[in-house]
Structure 1
Amino acid sequence: MRVGPFRPGAFRSGLHEPRTAVVIGRWLGAAVLVCFVTGLTSHYLQEPPAWLRTRLPSRPVDGYRVSQGLHVISGLAAIPLLGAKLWTVYPELFAWPPARSLRHALERLGIAVLVAGLLLELFTGLLNTVQWYPWPFPFRQTHFWLGWTVVGGLLLHLAVKAPQIAAHWWRRTAGAVPGRRALLGAVGAATAAVTLTTAGQTVPWLRRLDLLAPRRPDLGPQGLPVNRTAAQAGTTAVPADWRLTVDGPRPYRLSLAELRALPQHTARLPIACVEGWSADGEWTGVRLRDLLDLAGAPPGALLRITSLEADGPYAVTEMPPRYARDELTLLALALDGEELAPDHGHPARIIAPNRPGVLQTKWVSRIEVLG
């Protein structure tokens, strides 16, 4: 006989019932679906498989900003929704005996995997927004595969519970339960509050409500945030004899003064980071395609871009031809009319449309044409 908070009859609230669980489950499912699809978008933009590498689009300009903003917004919204969902069903989680049959045991095991995976996914994602990684495993790869695990577990759970979900999907099929409207209203209000006070790091017209978000997109050197400073990257002292090396059929090297003497172009483009924040800047520099033409690069060439940064996961990046040849892609030398600050990549950095911030390489030293 069990005693304590999980004993029979301990769950007295009438709100631990299927209709409430189904309504909150619909909201949570929508948030998880948006989070998963936008998370896949982010992953494949950062690390595309070979078949997708040359097909990645450079437009729309704000594509990554929107998708990654939605990813973080929906992930944060899912946190109170998951808490409410678990509260409505937790009597079932502690039902006794734990397994009444082999089918029931497999169902309970699937629920355990789903709940554990979703809790870990949201917890690690939340800490990623503040760039805190207190675990020994790599975040991005773990987050990616956990996402697939959660979605697989969710689909299995929906298949098993389909008859019960269908029976309580429509309002007319469910009887009135005292307090249900109040609970659903409170859950909706909590989710809206979390969303409105964090989405301002992505949505400009919500910036005044940006109370709980980890970043203010208008704070930082030259009015833009940075994730990795020059001090952290070890690039505070740029060599006096710095030259940009462009390796191609006709290789060459250019000093900063020679780069400034080339035709300059200005583009207003966002920096959009995986943590969910984004901000616009007016960037001025040399079109990357002009540098490639000087080197005799073929139109479909893949590029490798190397930073002065000695160590870091994105010190060397690759750029597909659609980005490299886009008229808005620049080797930027200035931001908002001023020379780049060290934290923004002085003497030169890449800025391109619809590209994750981690791939907008700073402190560029070499551009290689890979063919």
Structure 2
Amino acid sequence: MRLRLPPRPALRPPSFSGRLHDARTATSVGRWLGVALAVCFVTGVISHCLQHPPGWLIDELPSRPLWGYRVSQGLHVASGIAAIPLLLAKLWTVYPRLFLWPPLRSVRHALERLSIALLVAAVVFELFSGLLNTVQWYPWPFSFVPVHFAVAWLVVGALLLHIAVKLPDIQAHWGRRSPGTLKLPAEDEPDRRSLLAWIAVAVGAVTVTTVGQSFTPLKTLDLLAPRHPDHGPQRLPVNKTAAAAGVTSVGADWRLTVVGPRPYALTLDELRAMPQFEVELPIACVEGWSKTAHWTGVRVRDLMERAGAGPDARVRVESLERGGAYRVMEMGRGYARDPLTLLALRLNGQVLSADHGYPARIIAPNRPGVWQTKWVSRLEAL
């Protein structure tokens, strides 16, 4: 007996007939995505200026508010992560237009396609490279920071070009009562509201489960972030351990060298004998995590005044770290003179652990964690 197979269905080109792939839905999602990208860009520029300031800006950087970098960098990472589900939703609403034929119908249409190609490529690179940076994984041959910063400007340019080209469509579909808004059938309108609600839920979920690494009231929900603010030596995270920095041990012969018109050197016991100050300051890293801690140590301005440095002097700080882009750091006069800027010797009432910079480290307000130099060996007035 011969078995008959069911007839094979004919292959047909995809049909994009879903009513939610419309300009109104795309505009609604685009508004949210635009806000997230704007916050991410502005806070990213702030972060870059604090992390890699041009020479003329070093002395102008403010040390107040002391929590400034913590907030701006926390918003930068949170808005970048929130933008990922928004970008995916936005692409879902507009992807049928990628298959329209002919691909180029006019000069305006060609500019629109160019703006979309540049914008999508740049935003995808920015968001996913930034996400990999939060876990310190760099599977590319270029330096992350300068490329990430340069592509951010490309995103802004492509976005402005896209808005300029699509402005008539955006205006026509901006609000519910806009004259060009597509009128969905009554039975389809709940689908749009449901779609937007689920997009909001997805954004809220990724935000709530990651933002606790910087917004510590939500740290118990910090399930997806690569750092937890309480996990690490002395209940404070670290990005680079002493072993990774090549600082395997600090002998009893360690000295802090302070260079100025009246140079001198101090042993650790002599540092501890100087007036000690206690401050509550956050440490905030570019990867997005931050936490406030209790620090005890000697004020940097007292050390520099003892060396004869003037009130306008910058300070160059050198680490025992064997290499790396942040082994040597320059601190502008605003930070150097701030009474909260310490050469810290203790953390949360305990002697600094090796991973937190024993025997001494810098802690200053409103400053990226990469410039809170650990394993300090030398201070020099400039």
Q: Paired residue for 2:80?
A: 75
In structure 2, C-alpha distance between the alignment counterparts of 1:106 and 1:164, rounded to whole Å = 15
In structure 1, C-alpha distance between the alignment counterparts of 2:107 and 2:167, rounded to whole Å = 19
How far does the alpha carbon of each residue in 1:22-60 deviate from its partner, in whole angstroms, 9 at most, with x for none?
Answer: 010000000000000000000000111223211100010
Aligned pair partner of 1:188 in 185, 200, 209? 200
In structure 2, C-alpha distance between the alignment counterparts of 1:248 and 1:95, rounded to whole Å = 70
Q: Percent identity?
A: 65
Q: Paired residue for 1:260?
A: 272
Q: Report deviation, 1:93.
A: 2.1
User: Which letter maps to 1:176?
Assistant: L
Secondary structure, counterpart of 1:68 in structure 2: helix
Aligned residue runs from structure 1 range 34-53, under 5 A: 34-53=39-58
Q: Paired residue for 2:354?
A: 342
Aligned length: 366
> What TM-score do the two structures reach when normalised by structure 1?
0.97
Q: Paired residue for 2:169?
A: 164
1:248 aligns with 2:260: yes
Aligned pair partner of 2:320 in 308, 315, 318? 308
In structure 2, C-alpha distance between the alignment counterparts of 1:315 and 1:256, rounded to whole Å = 21
Secondary structure, counterpart of 1:347 in structure 2: coil
Secondary structure, counterpart of 1:165 in structure 2: helix
In structure 1, C-alpha distance between the alignment counterparts of 2:246 and 2:32, rounded to whole Å = 45
1:176 aligns with 2:188: no
Unpaired segments of 5 or more residues in structure 2? 1-9
Secondary structure, counterpart of 2:296 in structure 1: strand
> What TM-score do the two structures reach when normalised by structure 2?
0.94
In structure 2, C-alpha distance between the alignment counterparts of 1:236 and 1:339, rounded to whole Å = 17
User: Which letter maps to 2:64?
Assistant: R
Q: Report deviation, 1:4.
A: 7.3
Alpha-carbon spacing, 1:11–1:128, altered in 2? closer, same or farther (3 Å): same
Q: Is the 8 A contact 2:294 2:349 kept in 1?
A: yes
In structure 1, C-alpha distance between the alignment counterparts of 2:327 and 2:54, rounded to whole Å = 20
Secondary structure, counterpart of 2:177 in structure 1: helix
In structure 2, C-alpha distance between the alignment counterparts of 1:161 and 1:38, rounded to whole Å = 26
Unpaired segments of 5 or more residues in structure 1? none
User: Which letter maps to 2:160?
Assistant: L
1:295 aligns with 2:303: no
In structure 2, C-alpha distance between the alignment counterparts of 1:27 and 1:146, rounded to whole Å = 21
Alpha-carbon spacing, 1:119–1:4, altered in 2? closer, same or farther (3 Å): farther
Q: Paired residue for 2:91?
A: 86
Q: Paired residue for 1:277?
A: 289
1:351 aligns with 2:359: no
Structure number with greater Rg is 2
In structure 2, C-alpha distance between the alignment counterparts of 1:203 and 1:70, rounded to whole Å = 10
1:239 aligns with 2:231: no
In structure 1, C-alpha distance between the alignment counterparts of 2:137 and 2:99, rounded to whole Å = 33
